[in-house]
Amino acid sequence: MRNIVISLGGSILIPTLAGNRIRSYVPVLKAIAEHHRLFVVVGGGGAARDYIEAARELGVDEGTSDEIGILVTRLNATLLIAALGDAAYPKVAESHSEAKKFAESSKIVVMGGITPGQTTDAVAAVLAERVRASVFINATSVNGIYDKDPKKHPGAKRFETLTPQQLLEIVSQIGLGAGSNNVLDIIAARIVERSHIPLVVLDGQVPENLSNAILRGTFTGTVVSEDNKSPLPV
Ligand code: UTP
């Protein structure tokens, strides 16, 4: 039984509240949790973006907009916990130490954001560091890290592997504002670089991609590790 941290992007889990895909992730997360100690960090999705946009239109500062985003991530986390039922620890972890404590229950631990100026990817990266995760999975809406945004540049090239240093160089070129939509935030990249925890960035829009990657080692994505070796299957 290994520790696994998944950053489950809000854009894939809850792109909109009405169009949320929580139901389809429940069996997959439960299946993974039968074999490993699982921590899931949930993003804000469309609702967070809507709230942040509304706050900006009201002239609200970025830090306060971030706090609003954090509340939405925790609301999303609450919904996922409720859907997971007995398989999840019944409360959203509001800090990394709380997440560690909740993990003693052997249930799936779910958390959202914790502090302004970052995204839930950074929360997940630090969590991976603190629980000495065997792998940190960033489940997002693209199937890996590209040299350019593949949604804007059809010729963008996907990296099969990157060293943590290369990852840091790539994400350093991207900005960070409340609600900004990047494949991985720079704080998460810095943590990955210092912690030596292998990171796998994959397309999490199909829930089974997660179980196939973690339990069977079958996936398309980018592996970030010092030795270019895939940590999957765990
Ligand atoms: P997300 O982690 O969902 O950010 O947090 P994101 O990258 O914009 O969204 P997805 O995952 O691709 O859909 C939503 C917002 O909440 C605030 C930030 O403003 C972030 O953009 N947030 C979140 C924080 O300020 N701190 C946190 O620890 C987490």
Q: Which atom of ligand 1 is nearest to the CA of 182?
A: 7
Tell me, what's the pLDDT at 11?
A: 92
Tell me, what's the pLDDT at 110?
A: 98
| 45 Cβ inside 6 Å of ligand 1 | yes
Tell me, what's the pLDDT at 183?
A: 83
Q: Which two tokens stand for residue 13?
A: 């889990």
Tell me, what's the pLDDT at 87?
A: 98
Higher pLDDT, 7 or 147: 7
Tell me, what's the pLDDT at 179?
A: 45
Q: CA–CA separation, 90 vs 56, rounded Å?
A: 33
Cα of 223 from ligand 1 centre, angstroms = 23
Q: Which two tokens stand for residue 139?
A: 């489940």
Tell me, what's the pLDDT at 174?
A: 61
Homologous superfamily of the 3-224 domain (CATH)? Acetylglutamate kinase-like (3.40.1160.10)
| 15 Cβ inside 6 Å of ligand 1 | no
Q: Is 95 helix (H, G, I), strand (E, B) or coil?
A: coil
| 48 Cβ inside 6 Å of ligand 1 | yes
Tell me, what's the pLDDT at 172?
A: 85
Tell me, what's the pLDDT at 127?
A: 98
Residue with tokens 């696994």: 4
Burial class (CB in 10 A: 0-12, 13-18, 19+), 46: middle
Cα of 205 from ligand 1 centre, angstroms = 18
- Our mutation pick for probing the ligand 1 site, out of 40, 60, 119, 186, counting the most ligand atoms within 8 A of Cβ, is 119
In the chain, domain spans? 3-224
Instruction: Determine which residue's CA is closest to atom 7 belonging to ligand 1.
Output: 181
Cα of 101 from ligand 1 centre, angstroms = 24
Tell me, what's the pLDDT at 177?
A: 46
Render pLDDT for 64-121 as a digit per residue (tens, 0 to 9): 999 999 999 999 999 999 999 999 999 999 999 999 999 999 999 999 999 999 999 9
Cα of 123 from ligand 1 centre, angstroms = 10
| 44 Cβ inside 6 Å of ligand 1 | yes
Instruction: Determine which residue's CA is closest to atom 14 belonging to ligand 1.
Output: 44
Render pLDDT for 165-220 as a digit per residue (tens, 0 to 9): 999 999 887 644 454 447 899 999 999 999 999 999 999 999 999 999 999 999 99
Render pLDDT for 24-34 as a digit per residue (tens, 0 to 9): 999 999 999 99
- Our mutation pick for probing the ligand 1 site, out of 16, 21, 53, 120, counting the most ligand atoms within 8 A of Cβ, is 120
pTM: 0.95
CB 66 within 8 A of CB 177: no
